A and B are shown apart, each in its own frame.
Chain A
Amino acid sequence: MDGSAPDRREVVIPGDLLNGHGLKPGSGTFNEGGRIYAARIGTVAERDGFVDVIPLSGRYIPRSRDVIIGKITDLGPSHWLVDINSPYPAPLNAKETPWMVEFGDTDRYLHVGDVVIGEIVSVDEAMRVQLSIADRQFGRLTGGQILDISPAKVPRLIGRNGNMVALIREFTNVRMFVGQNGRIWIDGDAEGVYHAAHVIKVIDDSGPAPGLTDQVRAYLEAAYGRRATTPAERDDDGRH
């Protein structure tokens, strides 16, 4: 449990003592009697003087600045209610849109069932969420399809510096957006979408073992019969 085994990501179970030598308890951990323990199933990571447990399962819990994909579930006179795949409902105020929405005119802009990309502006202690789609890169999604994966797998799907999504885009030519809440929007030709969806499913089913990028690269190279332009790395997070 010393966390120094480089090629094997150690899986910890709630209650496991972590080697928090001179480190502070980060997310997914807790402090008891001066020792740091894991609070949930995950893999151990050290960053900026904190010990974290990166979860392997669990629901999406909103955090501010997260970019998410939401579905409109209800409208009010000056807001929409958005399902962000979390235990908390997220209201989207009419002011937080690029449009000048008159009071009572919300149904002219977004309807129940519409899908939006937005940003979580704030989450307070009572977990009240504020959404925004006002920024240029946000808004309503049209076309394509939505896939759901476990929110715990989103960092793996994105990869270090986004190299996993870059790899998928390079081969399949799909337009793809990964929301932090485990919703993915993809659009493209049938073959590209087919392969992208397959790769996303593989990542969703994957465990904590390293080398996922190489597996995905091997699959895509076999499927398309050509080599990736980016050279293969030893590991998908730069360690080896």
Chain B
Amino acid sequence: MLLSKNRVIRRRAVVGLLVAASLTLLTMSYREGSTGVVGSVQNGAAEVTAPFASVAHRVTSPFVDAWHWTTGLIDARNQTAKLHRLEAQAGRDAALIKQLQQENTTLKGQAHYVQENPTFHPVSGSVIIQSPDSDTPSVMIGIGSNQGVQVNDPVVAPLSSGGALVGRVKEVTGSTATVQVLLDPAIGVTASVQNRQGANGTIVPSTGTPGELTMAEVPQSALVKDGDTVVTSGYTGRLKSLYPDGIPIGRVTYVQNDDLGQQSKQIQVTPFVNFDNLSGVVVLELK
């Protein structure tokens, strides 16, 4: 019992002394800072332990390097995954930007057309029905008389799709309009070959080649070559054309030079507008 009591006292004394020593050192350290006895003790301790620390550092450095390599590898994989996510995001953003640019181009095109043709007011509309009837091809668009559309208004493709001639408005209701497209045999558009003097004619659908156009009644004397651009001539004489001049129609793909003494020749024209894939049009309303 006495032995146990002595042990308890000794323990308490040791712990008490150590606590008192700690508090004393803490007070001294706080008052003196890094100078005086405390500072020299710290410098001495650092000097003594420095060689051991250096050895320990060297011995363990391969393991530390291996650890860093492993964690670096994990970090690299995480960063790769993050980069993949960012790349996907960038792709989506790029697609969005492209879409916005196209919209911007369309709107700019409309504005541009107004500048060039101050007598027309462009109204864009979506194609809601595309007629499957190949004899009288037409499309129905989602704008009508409520939006100011009238019969015989010229219809062009959006500038983003080339801005080429599509046809004319054939029928109108309040909210829809039927467009007679260039592939309709009943349509005829006065046209000319750009930059070719006297190369005027009438655009009609090709009889033997679906989807192609023929420019008929072109004078034999007119010099026309493959690749030339055909535009509306906008005839303004007594029989005024429905279409303003300069609207692109298509590109010359074949010139039939008639050597049988005929006065005119035919030119095959591929339209700029893809009538099978027409999603939107612009109706040019007369102001």
A binds B: no
Hey, which bits of chain B sit against chain A, CB under 8 A? none
